[in-house]
Chain A
Amino acid sequence: MRKILKIAVNLPSIRTLWLLLFFLKAAFSFLLALPFFIISNSILAGSSFSKMLILDWDLSVIIELFSGRGELIPAYLISIIIGGLIYLIVMQFLNGGIYFVIVSGNCNPLKWREFFAECGMGFITHIKITLMAALIYLIMLPVGFFLVNMVGILMAKLFDISSLMILATKFGIFALIFLAISIFSDTVRATFTAAPDKQLIELIRVAFIYFRPQLLRLMGTFLITYLPFMAIWIFVEWTAIHVVGFFAGIVGILIELILLQIASFTRTGQKLWYLTYLGQEYRTYNPGRFSAMQAELPLRD
């Protein structure tokens, strides 16, 4: 726990990387949301029905916005999916540099030339790891459904509890399954960064040897790093709602936008926090190319 907190305290030392990743995400999101703004503004700007949205999230405005314009939803979804795929590919490029920084611990100061050299070198392998993770997600999806349905049936038969509780439990199980897969893919990436000359099969084998005994600890660490983000997120949402209601105008909307961006920035920080911990832990287990250089010193008489 002390180690996790120490990493949190040292997070500002990778603030440049943190800011880069946040602004990349924000820029992608802004670009993807821009067509939505243009179209919705053309519909909402002239209508007095839409003014409720300035005070609170009255879903009637959103319902009216899409009523009779159902074709807009798939259009937005397709553009977001395409944008998401491009972002995913860009992130695979950046993963080479990110994992180099967190596994080597060599971040102060961040050397951009080295960073982007690692990005380029690891791009193809990170794409392969992403495809492998996607395959595992696809395999685990029906398995997960089967498992949660079994749990749901058993809970309903044995405990007489509400559907909401059963639903929450099912969601929790799914989240844990997906978290485990995500941690495994992180471990494979860390393994590749430590030993970039290994083939993917070998990387998976080595990563799995580390992953199996460490799974619970890594999941626990992820959840611990997630809690402060959750707290900030809830606080931001709560504050944003009150600010918008209080100012009831463009000032409130701008403050809300800033608050939401703070939550998004925190989420990036959360993942970097957790990855830095994983990187440090992995380095002690398998330093690979980052092991201390050994040199034979001439004996003195």
Chain B
Amino acid sequence: MILHKIISAGIAFLFVFVNQVSGFDTLKVDAILDTLNKEIYGYVSIQYPSIPGLASYQLQLFPNVYSGESSPYLKKGSALLEKFIKDKKWAKMEIDSVVISEDSINISSHLKVDYTMGVLDSLDRLLPAGKTFQVYFNTQIPEMGDRLSYSGNEYFLDGWFPRPALYDTMSGWYNPFYGSFCELVGDYFIFDLSLSVPSGYQIAGPVPSDYTENVGSMVKHHFRFGPAHDFGMAVSPRYLIDSMEVGQTIFRFYYRDYERFILPRVKSAAQKTFEYMAKNVGEYKYKYINYALVDFSFSGGLEMPAFMAISSPRDFPTFSRFYESVVIHETVHQWFYGMIGSNQIEYPWLDEATSNFFTEKIHISIWGEEANLFEFADFKVSNIDFLRMMSDIAGNDGIINRPAYSFVSTRDFFGLMYIKGALAIKTFDNLLEDSLSVIFWKSYYNRFLFAHPTPDDFWGLADKIGGEIASSDLQQLLNKSSRVDYSIEDLSNKRQDSVNIEIRLILRKTGLLESPIRYQIILANNDTLENVWKPVYNTEEIIITTSSPAIEAIIDPNYDFAIDADFLNNSLKVHGDNRSAARLTSGIIFLIESMLSLIGGM
């Protein structure tokens, strides 16, 4: 029996190991950064896959999202589009030629480009399986773009070379539509990449260069990295580097001299997040993890495998822990996006909502439940308060499980993907409770490492580990737009005789969730009655006979249902307490007085 288990485990190990070692194609890229013309050009070498019946090959030409006013990617009214229109400086990727490597046969005429889609047709007649072809490209870099941009002599490069579209043997080619809010989607490759830059420029990327060689006034950097679905970089002559080691992983931080002051905070947040994720989700699989402080056209961060770009503190408020929050969020993406891939265009919640949920967990693990985001003069704000406030402002209605390009407003996208999605996953995670939560996330990691799970995979696992009701509730939260609210509607005491008192309370549920929910009745003698409500209907009357009257009843006392629209009605006291409103009003009176002093002069 033991031998049988050892053999099975050995076969399973070999299957996984072989899959990981040899299951990824190599993508060779060789390019030059032209700092004079703000261009990057070179070639990508692609092996034509040996798939029977495959007659075409599809490429993603991401830089074409910056090619004109009609680009679906540039949102109407956005600052980025306005800037492009004002400057009349657009950017794009041009394919100079497509050449079969060994025979030097130019097959450019077989290429058709439509927006970000490049389709090479009739290749089966020209190109035997296994042969490589080279795609020569020239990418104009936009000034202050988002994923691809330059500012002065500093460059942020993502999606800058032609990337293979995704191929599935069942459904064929998937070449994503880069509409509003879309992030890059790609398959896992081993990158064999060379980039020539003028001497004196530092390259911040997922790995340090294996070796460099001087080519005239340029320095050619060679990188080998993978498996990964992207290779982003930041290039600057002003970068200084700091590093640290956590276990076997080397952290590198790229910063300008004036950003030195923020480094201790970035390093601390990065290290604590890394340790939390390694412990609670799974091991970090790359040798390096890199952070570069960059000048974006927005405030925030961008994740790429093993490499993160974070807004310079010059462009981002640093007086609260919002800055650390960005570092935490992007670091979490190394798991949910980087190592566990997902289609960021069709199911953006899979990485964004999950990453924001873990950002919330890590805030609590580092700074505790209270005031973990901001504290000043006794004013306290926690990350969960921020999430709940934003969920009321943005993304109030709508389905979370929907494609990025289906959104028309930043408010809805941000509200549903980052806020409501995180609260939905937090609710699901709370329903699992601590022990099952760790098992769920570790299983998710182990099962989908370097793969692209879908929502079906996510709730399939939720069903297996959390049970049918938890999985069903998770799907309700992600697939339906409905208000969730639990409340105590009524609480009263009625003396029956000299000993017994009848306590009557009404529990109310709004929404379609079915999970059982805890409630407490606090008695005048300080005893607490704990119970669980399994809601069949939306309201239920509970009658209990005790010797002590109830003073308060609370439904969901730990606020596990983070998605609950209103926590204030979760509890009800028999005798009201006016002190909270009195204090709030005292502050409001002073605020109004200050305003009157300002306008009235006294």
Contacts and interface: CB of A to CB of B under 8 A. Distances in A.
Contact of B571 (A46, A91, A267): A46
Contact of A160 (B256, B377, B582, B584): B256
Interface string B372-394: 00000111111011001100100
Given A54-B579, A253-B579, A59 B597 contact: no
A67 interface: yes
Interface string B244-286: 0000000000001110000000000000000000000000000
A40 B581 contact: yes
Nearest to B295: A156
Contact of B592 (A33, A49, A161): A33
Contacts of B565: 67-68
Given A30-B589, A59-B379, A46 B572 contact: yes
Contacts of B595: 80, 84
Interface residues of A, number: 72
A256 B590 CA distance: 10
B97 interface: no
A87 B601 CA distance: 11
A161 B584 contact: no
Nearest to B597: A267
B600 A91 contact: yes
A63 B387 CA distance: 10
B128 interface: no
A37 B576 contact: no
B347 interface: no
B392 A33 contact: no
Nearest to B577: A45
B593 A26 contact: yes
B380 A59 contact: yes
B411 to A, nearest CB: 14
A163 B580 contact: no
Contacts of A160: 256-258, 314
A47 B587 contact: no
A109 interface: no
B593 A66 contact: no
B215 interface: no
Interface stretch (A138-146, A207-215, A257-265, A288-296): A257-265
Nearest to B571: A48
A163 B313 contact: yes
Given A59-B380, A59-B381, A64-B388, A45 B581 contact: yes
B457 interface: no
Contacts of B601: 91, 95, 182, 186, 271
Contact of B580 (A61, A88, A261): A61
B567 A267 contact: no
Nearest to B299: A163
Nearest to A270: B597
A244 B378 CA distance: 11
B585 A40 contact: yes
B372 to A, nearest CB: 11
A68 B566 contact: yes
Nearest to B393: A70
A169 B432 CA distance: 49
A29 B599 CA distance: 13
B578 A65 contact: no
B508 interface: no
A73 to B, nearest CB: 11
Contact of A54 (B380, B388, B573, B580): B580
A245 B378 CA distance: 10
A162 B388 contact: no
A131 to B, nearest CB: 13
A244 B583 contact: yes
A25 B579 CA distance: 24
Nearest to B569: A47
A16 interface: no
Contacts of A245: 378
A120 interface: no
A56 B380 contact: yes
Interface residues of B, number: 58
B318 interface: yes
B82 interface: no
Nearest to A67: B392
B460 interface: no
B579 A249 contact: yes
A204 to B, nearest CB: 18
Chain A CB within 10 Å, residue with most, of B552, B585, B592: B592
B600 A264 contact: no
Interface in B499-557: 552, 554
A239 to B, nearest CB: 11
Given A29-B589, A49-B568, A68-B566, A164 B319 contact: yes
Contacts of A48: 552, 554, 571, 573
Interface in A267-282: 267-268, 271-272
A93 B382 CA distance: 46
A33 B567 contact: no
Contact of A49 (B315, B317, B567, B597): B567
Interface string B316-339: 111100000000000000000000
Nearest to A260: B590
A149 to B, nearest CB: 14
Chain A CB within 10 Å, residue with most, of B313, B378, B382, B601: B601
A250 B589 contact: no
Interface in A24-54: 25-26, 28-30, 32-33, 36-37, 40-41, 43-51, 53-54
B380 A58 contact: yes
A25 B593 contact: yes
Contacts of A257: 586, 589
A241 interface: yes
A105 B596 CA distance: 26
B316 A163 contact: yes
Contact of B378 (A56, A60, A80): A56
B588 A264 contact: no
Contact of A51 (B577, B585, B589, B597): B577
A57 interface: yes
A68 B392 contact: yes
A36 B588 contact: yes
A277 to B, nearest CB: 15
B471 interface: no
B586 A256 contact: yes
A32 B288 CA distance: 59
A70 B389 CA distance: 11
B387 to A, nearest CB: 10
Contacts of B258: 160-161
Nearest to B315: A163
B390 to A, nearest CB: 10
A156 to B, nearest CB: 6
B379 A45 contact: no
A87 B568 contact: no
Interface string A110-123: 00000000000000
A21 interface: yes
A159 to B, nearest CB: 9
A74 to B, nearest CB: 14
B570 interface: yes
A43 B577 CA distance: 10
B583 A53 contact: yes
Closest 4 CB pairs of A and B: A45-B576, A41-B581, A160-B258, A50-B580
Given A53-B580, A160-B257, A260-B590, 9 more contacts: A26-B589, A29-B592, A29-B593, A33-B589, A60-B567, A64-B568, A80-B595, A163-B313, A238-B377
17 contacts: A32-B592, A36-B584, A44-B580, A46-B571, A49-B571, A50-B577, A57-B377, A59-B379, A59-B385, A61-B584, A64-B567, A91-B602, A95-B601, A160-B256, A182-B601, A260-B587, A261-B590
